[in-house]
A = this chain, B = another copy of it.
Amino acid sequence: MKASIVGGTGYGSVELIRLINKHPYMELGTIVSNSQAGNSFSQTYPHLTGIIEQRMEDFDASNLSEKNDIVFLATPSGVSSNLIPKLLDNGIKCIDLSGDFRLRSTEEYELWYKHSPADESYLKQATYGLSEIYTEKIRSAKLIANPGCYPTASTLGLLPIVKTNLADNKSIIIDAKSGVSGAGRGLSLTSHYAEINENLKAYKLGAHQHIPEIEQVLQDETGTQITITFTTHLVPMTRGIMCTTYVNLKENISTEQAVQLYTQFYEKNPFVRIRKPGTIPATKEVLGSNYCDIGLHVDPRTNRLTIISVIDNLVKGAAGQAIQNANLMNGWDERAGLDDLPLYP
């Protein structure tokens, strides 16, 4: 099966290529990059010298659909909303790594993204690709809105407790920290080495576009509207996201009970690992892998649950989850091509 990548030179694309290259059932098809069409991929990424010498092409929906079996789009915000309708009309399945098809409400999209939303008729065809939660819908989907990196770590950490009705929904605070690769390959002072190295920054307080995405999942899964506090920080490292999430509990439970609850919730999900009481995951412990590791602590002094969830933002937070979704859509083992151990140290 041929997998095409649209948006060829960003970090999402190069990570998709790394994963497709080791996938047992997919091989790399067309790479589309309008800005680099005609150049070989290894000119942009010399670490692929001698391996991915394939030339990039301009976007051509009918040609793409003919020569490939699935398309991954790793384009900047606001681009895939224009490309995906053409691809779907040509009958090819799409997995969109951008935020364009994640929010069902076009008003919310405009409010948080500050530009035009996708066409509503196509928006309706999108399935939110949080693999562990929407597994069945994903199997039959034609268009996947692959979740954001922060929403993946946040919602996998929150859902077991909010779905049991043990959580005080008004109390949810997510203190999120990310490595710098999450900001992409576009040049910016906020990715400039000397500004970021040996520095810790908070950014977009109360304004991050992943807030409505997290709230939409929480509402879908609980049936009630939940408003969260969500703060993002930039950590001087390349990869990794940690969400430290605080939830007031409506009943007294112990750390052990919380661990048991989470373990049962994810017992069929190979990529979610719940840590034993007293152990807390660090971001490096999932580096390069598709795992989401979760540690839990209930403070008996405040009856508040602290959830620590970590992912590699480019794998489970982007390309890895996209491959996981492709596996589900094709009826393969969801672990196909994703069984690497984390790279440590």
Q: A202-B308, A280-B201, A302-B229 are in contact. Are A46 and B187 (CB under 8 A)?
A: no
How big is chain A's contact interface, by range? 35 or more
Q: How many copies does the complex hold?
A: 4
Is the pair A343, B343 in contact by a Cβ cutoff of 8 Å? yes
Distance in angstroms between the alpha carbons of A9 and B213 in the assembled complex: 38
Is the pair B345, A281 in contact by a Cβ cutoff of 8 Å? no
CB-defined A-B contacts under 8 Å, sample of 28:
A11-B345, A46-B285, A49-B275, A173-B173, A173-B304, A175-B175, A181-B194, A181-B345, A187-B192, A193-B236, A193-B238, A195-B284, A197-B198, A197-B237, A197-B345, A198-B239, A200-B237, A202-B244, A202-B280, A205-B280, A205-B297, A205-B308, A227-B301, A229-B299, A235-B236, A236-B236, A236-B237, A288-B343
Question: Residues of B contacting A195 with CB < 8 Å?
Answer: 185, 284, 345
- Considering only CB atoms, which chain B residue lies closest to A50 in the complex? B273
Interface flags for A282-320 (1: CB within 8 Å of B; 0: not) read 111111100001010101011010101010000000000
Question: Residues of B contacting A14 with CB < 8 Å?
Answer: 344-345
Question: Residues of B contacting A197 with CB < 8 Å?
Answer: 180, 193, 197-198, 236-238, 345
